[in-house]
Structure 1
Amino acid sequence: MSEMPLPRAMGASLRATFWDEARGYQRLAYVVGAALVLTGLAHGAIWAVVGGPIEGPLSWRKPATFGLSFGLTTLTLGWIGGHLRVPAWSGWLVSVLLCVSTALEVVWVSVQRARGVPSHFNDMTALDGALFTAGGVTIAVTDIALLLITVAAFTACTAPAPMAWAIRGGMLALLAAQVVGMWMIVHGIGLLDAGASPLTHSMSTYGRAGAMKYAHAVPMHAIQVLPGLAWLMGFSRLSERARLVAMSAAIAGYASLFAVALGRTALGLEPFDLLSLSTLLYLVPALLLGAASVATAAGLRRRSGLG
């Protein structure tokens, strides 16, 4: 029997894993995740029409990025649930916790922007302070769900080794992103207590120019990059051993990217500064991630009969 053409094989895999073979709690995550992505896109459209700054607590960018980021993460974690051998009740429990908490987080940021007030570090009124506290509670619930998924990824993962380690690396990075988020909250509250205003002061700048949002965003989306790369490898002509080596390089590359981002932030440096020698450290993750990507592309090219 001839091998299925690559585009058709990829389409069949997406249909099967994302919906046809999905459990009910995975589909819940897909629906909620898609709704959050649409919310982010809607706020992006509003931003494009009405304009406004790209930074600051009242930028339309904030609800747009929250919707897109939380939506993509919820969708991805729903898909990962298909690779975990867990009882149905625990799958539903974690999915409900995740979906409710991520949805409330996006709704909170969106409502506050619609009211024309900052969402984070805002205690100017009793309502604003209560909503900020509630936002902290919802993200704590999200963290619990992420921790449970991470434990399952190490103890009950049924995926082939390259995908299993991609999922584990992505989940650990996602937890690291939450730790950076906690650092941001503590730092911002400290500035608030010192008399800074959430309307005029950047609560996420550390030192002279350290971009805490950057150090938070980099590890947060490893959960899309690493499993996505492993999924592509699965269609290549690479052996499982070669795929595992390539995935190990990708994980090391992403970890080093996070290390550089975190180090520059902690030192109060901008994410990118071409005049700084420390910027050359980005060559390490670039080489590792590049090698994994090139190996995957070469394997796919052979599968397509182009190599």
Structure 2
Amino acid sequence: MAALAVVAAVGLIVDDRVLVGSPIWFKPFKFAVSFVAYGLTLAWMLSRRAGRSRVGEWAAHTVVVAGVAEMAIITGQTIRGRRSHFNAETPLDSALFATMGITIAVLWTATLVIAILLFRARLGDRATTWAIRLGLLLALVGLALGALMLGPTPEQQAAGGLHTVIGAHSVGVPDGGPAMPLTGWNTTGGDLRIPHFVGMHALQALPLFLYGIESLAGRFTRLRSDRVRLRLVLVAAGFIAALLALVTWQALHGQALIHPDGATLGALAALVAATSIGTYAALRRPAPADDEGDDHATQSPTSATELTA
């Protein structure tokens, strides 16, 4: 996937074709980079288990095979100059898109198996264990939300007859309109890729958040407490879960991310306030007995910071 990302980056430079309002190699580039992050994160999470697991290895290999199949279709359709997603123009296009649906379902199931394995294992101190577990759960939700893009849109249903395109990532406006730089998210209507992105990348966000906390523990003694770090991880997970619900609601109502209405802004303000209160509560000093146990946990070689070092 890393090599494919380089190839796609070159394609962005030398190939001036545009497909659905976007440079034609933009989708392979985004997906390749996403799979790099996804694969590396799952590999790191599986490495936290004590001992090898045959089931875990099979699940990991299944993720790899499904990801390669998905990217082979996306890249092949890019070379052909055709859409990979939602394309029903020809029997071949329909078959390829249906195959992509199967590969993603297989990838989701394999990730679920990995999540079950990691829920049954101690993966370090409590903060690290729950950062991994909750990141996996949110990623599974984010992946599943991709199914919202698959059904025909109201406009497609109203048109009747045979369709060359079935499904869309935009809500209320056609795909391919004005878009945000880098992400390509729609700026005039809802975009279901946003909750898909937020959920999936919680997989990296929560462990990286914990790594940042542990990096600051040398300056702030309060953060040396395992209980405090666990509380902060739970607050961060709650924030991402609520944000995921909010951006899903916003997208389904045909509202662009950068043009929120009053209700969305009010919900976001409430979320920020609740997160601030939760963070303040999480930073309360633990009881002396907890501090003693936390000091022992902090010295354990299984903390995320020491593993990374």
TM-score norm. by structure 2 comes to 0.74
Q: Relative to structure 1, is the Cα distance of residues 285 and 54 closer, same or farther in structure 2, using a 3 angstrom cutoff? A: farther
Distance 1:125 1:272 in 2: 36
Give ranges in structure 1 of 5+ residues lacking alignment: 1-35, 297-302
Q: How far apart are residue 277 of structure 1 and its match?
A: 4.7
* Equivalent residue, structure 2, for 1:204: 169
Deviation at 1:261?
0.4
1:1-307 counterparts in 2 under 5 A? 36-51=1-16, 53=18, 56=21, 59-85=24-50, 87-187=52-152, 191=156, 194=160, 195-198=162-165, 203-207=168-172, 209-237=189-217, 238=223, 239-273=225-259, 276-286=262-272, 288=275
Determine which structure has more spread, i.e. the larger CA radius of gyration: 2
Aligned to 1:186, the other structure's residue is in SS state coil
CA apart distance, 1:276: 4.0
Conserved in 2, the CA contact under 8 Å of 1:174 and 1:222? yes
Change over 3 Å in CA distance of 1:274–1:121 after alignment to 2: closer
CA distance 1:274–1:153, shift in 2 (3 Å): same
Provide the C-alpha distance between the structure 2 equivalents of 1:92 and 1:290, rounded to a whole number of angstroms.
41
- What is the distance in 2 between the residues matched to 1:46 and 1:161? 44
C-alpha distance 84-137 of structure 1, shift in aligned 2 (>3 A)? same
Q: 1:97 to 1:289 in 2, by over 3 A?
A: farther
Q: Report the Cα distance in structure 2 between the residues aligned to 1:189 and 1:135, rounded to whole angstroms.
A: 23
How many aligned residue pairs are there?
Answer: 259
Contact 1:109 1:119 (C-alpha < 8 Å) held by counterparts: yes
Change over 3 Å in CA distance of 1:136–1:258 after alignment to 2 = same
SS across alignment from 2:42: helix
In the TM superposition, residue 236 of structure 1 has moved relative to its aligned partner by 3.8
Q: 1:151 to 1:272 in 2, by over 3 A?
A: same
Query: Does the 8 Å CA contact 2:151/2:167 hold for their aligned counterparts?
Result: no
- Matched with 1:13 is none
What is the distance in 1 between the residues matched to 2:169 and 2:18? 16
Judge conservation of contact 1:57–1:119 (CA < 8 Å) in 2. no
Question: Contact 2:149 / 2:167 at 8 angstroms: preserved in 1?
Answer: no
Task: Give the residue type in structure 1 aligned to 2:203.
Answer: I
The two structures, once aligned, show a CA RMSD in angstroms of 3.1
Please state whether the residue corresponding to 2:150 is helix, strand or coil: helix
- The structure in which a higher percent of residues are helix is 1
Provide the rounded CA distance (Å) in 2 between the counterparts of 1:152 and 1:86: 12
What displacement does 1:206 show?
Answer: 2.0
Give ranges in structure 2 of 5+ residues lacking alignment. Answer: 174-188, 218-222, 284-304
Instruction: State the secondary structure of the residue aligned to 1:152.
Output: helix
**TM superposition shift of 1:182:** 1.2
- Please say if residues 152 and 167 of structure 2, whose CA atoms lie closer than 8 Å, have aligned partners that are also in contact: no
Aligned in 2, Cα 1:164/1:210: closer, same or farther, shift over 3 Å? same
Mapped contact 2:41–2:204 kept (Cα < 8 A):
yes
Residue identity matched to 1:255: A
Using the alignment, how far apart are the partners of 1:257 and 1:227 within structure 2?
Answer: 18
Distance 1:259 1:61 in 2: 27
1:153/1:290 CA distance change after superposition, 3 Å: farther
> Offset of 1:90 from its aligned partner?
1.3
